Homo-oligomer: A and B are copies of this chain.
Amino acid sequence: MWFVYTETPTAGTTAPVRASERAYRQLRGEILDGILIPGAGLLEIEQSARIGVSRTPLRAAIARLIADGLVAGRPGRGFMVTEMSLDSIRELYEVRRALEEHAARIAADRRDPAVFLALRDQFLDAPELLAQGTVGLHRYYDLIDEFDDAVAEAVANPFLVGALATVRTHLVRIRRLARGNPDRLRSAAAEHLLIIDAIIAGDTSLAAHATHVHLQQSLTNVLAAVQGQPTGPVA
C-alpha cells in the first residue's frame, strides 16, 4: 500500500493520517449532508472499498458514529443510518432545551462581555446577510456556530459542551429537512439578539427564558416544514 497524496491537498488542513479518522469524517459528513439518507444500510465491505480503507478502521469509524447516534444496528446483522422521525425531533428538542437553557444561564453568569458585544454587532447585520442568497446563508450558519462556540467557551464545562455538541450534530441533519426560509431565519436572528443581550447584561433568567422561547419557535418551524415536505423538497 502506497501513500496517496491526492487526498484534498488543501493547505493548512493537514489531512488526518489515520485511516479510521478519514473514514469517520467522510461517513459523518455524508450522513450530515444527506448523501447517506436515513435508513441506508452500511455494509462494511462495500463502504471500506468505497472509502479506500480496510474493514478494521472502518469498524472503528462506525463505532464512533454509533456513539454519536448517527448510526444504529443490531449486533449480528448490519448497520444503518438512524432515522429522524417527527417524534425523534421533538425528543431531541426536549433535551436540547434542557441543555441550552442551562448553558445560556451559565454563560450569562461567566461570560466575557467583549466577546458577546462583538457577536451582537454581527447579528445586527444578519438580515443583510440573509438577503445575499446561498453564500449569505452559509455565513449566517457560520455566525451561529460562532455564537455556539462563544457560549461553549463561557460555559467552560467539558461535559456540558460535549452533550451540546452531540445534540447539535443531530441538529445539522434536521436543519436540512427544514431548509431555511428567510423569514424564519430573520426571526431566529432577532431571537439570538435577545439571548445575546441577556448574556451581556448578565441576566441569567432572561438568557434562559429567551433561549426557551427561541427553541420553541425553532421547533415549531421545523415541525411545520418537515410535515409540509415529508420526503424531500417539493418545490
Which residues of A approach B to under 8 Å, CB–CB? 18, 56, 59-60, 63-64, 66-67, 69, 75, 88, 91-92, 94-95, 97-99, 101-102, 106, 157-160, 162-163, 167
Q: B94–A159 contact, CB under 8 A?
A: yes
Task: Determine which of B59, B157, B167 lies in contact with A94 in the assembled complex, contact meaning CB atoms within 8 Å.
Answer: B157
Q: B18–A95 contact, CB under 8 A?
A: no
Report Cα–Cα, A167/B94, bound state, in Å: 17
Q: Give chain A's interface secondary structure class.
A: helix
Report Cα–Cα, A204/B95, bound state, in Å: 16
Chain B residues with Cβ below 8 Å from A162 are 69
Report Cα–Cα, A64/B65, bound state, in Å: 11
Q: Name the residue on B nearest A21 (C-beta).
A: B75
- A–B Cβ pairs within 8 angstroms, 11 of them: A59-B60, A63-B63, A63-B67, A64-B67, A69-B162, A88-B159, A94-B157, A94-B160, A95-B102, A95-B157, A95-B159
Report Cα–Cα, A91/B102, bound state, in Å: 12
Nearest 3 CB-CB pairs, A to B?
Answer: A67-B67, A98-B102, A63-B63
Q: B91–A106 contact, CB under 8 A?
A: no
Chain B residues with Cβ below 8 Å from A64 are 63, 67
Chain B residues with Cβ below 8 Å from A88 are 159
Q: B106–A102 contact, CB under 8 A?
A: no
